[in-house]
Structure 1
Amino acid sequence: MSDAIHASSAPRPVGSYPHARRVGNLLFLSGIGPRDHDTNAIVGNIHDADGRLLSYNIDAQARAVFANVRAVLEASGARWQDLVDVTVYLTDMDADFARYNAVWAEYFPDIDHAPCRTTVGISALPTPIAIELKCVAVVKE
């Protein structure tokens, strides 16, 4: 048996899927990016007058992703500390990994209590974002 989670305080998914699904005491979060809940704008993106992406701020996007993950966790009855596994997708590993890793360390300063993590460099994500997280958490019954 599984339960779909739709978090009202997180940005809407960009497709037809729930924010998360709970199966027993495991919580599986769908891929979450750095969009703003209220405006749906991509945090940290800078566009020209014609709407073309000029640049982005990986620090701002990483912090926005973490805030969105936290919103889904809380809507699911989980906490930040309940994360056990995170897969990180970066569209520019060379340019962004060090900055992302520094932001990660701010949110998970104690390596012994941080979730496991895999970081993957990819060529693109479905929207013009530089980072997306896929997470698994354990929820206390």
Structure 2
Amino acid sequence: MPPARDAVFPAGRQALYERNRYSPAVRSQGLLFVSGQVGSRPDGSPEPELARQVQLAFDNLNAVLAAAGCTFADVVDVTLYLVDAERNFEQVWPVVMANWGEAPHPALTGIGVSWLYGFQFEIKAVAKLPDPV
């Protein structure tokens, strides 16, 4: 019987995962559950410029998806977290839309938060894994 949780680790960015003791993603029951991805540099530190931080979060999400054999087109559910959403939404949304792809789009929940471990934006996703060959 396969394990209930099969962790997926992309190349790089290990410092953040090791320091905080979590898996970037877990495969289970035909789905990929991706931990919240932030706009961190390779050493795990936050990118200071907000639009660039959002793009890096998507880049990091796409790296995790690729490590599991997925793309953003396989994503079925997304949760976005944004610090000071009322002030930052207009800066963030164009970057999100540039990475969103074609319809049909995934389900989306957006949450304004007060703190994200020094980051301003985080994206969490669930994707359908490719069917086994």
Q: TM bucket by the smaller chain? A: 0.7 to 0.9
Secondary structure of the 1:30 match is strand
**Other-structure match for 2:46:** 42
TM-score, structure 1 normalization: 0.82
Letter of the aligned partner of 2:91 in structure 1? R
Q: Structure 1: which 5+ residue stretches go unaligned?
A: 46-56
CA distance, structure 1, for counterparts of residue 65 and residue 85 of structure 2? 26
Matches within 5 A, 1:3-42: 3-10=6-13, 12-13=16-17, 14-37=19-42, 39-42=43-46
* Superposed counterparts of 1:81-92, under 5 Å: 81-92=73-84
Q: 2:119 aligns with which of 122, 125, 129?
A: 129
Residues paired across the two proteins, number: 126
Q: Which structure features the higher share of helix residues?
A: 2
State the Cα RMSD in Å.
1.5
Say whether the 8 Å CA contact 1:2–1:24 is kept in structure 2: no
Determine the C-alpha separation between the residues in 2 that align with 1:22 and 1:119. Answer: 24
Q: CA deviation at 1:109?
A: 4.8
Residue aligning to 1:72: 64
Structure 1 SS opposite 2:38:
coil
Runs of 4+ in 1 over 4 A off after TM superposition: none
C-alpha deviation, 1:10, in angstroms: 4.1
Percent of pairs identical after alignment? Answer: 29
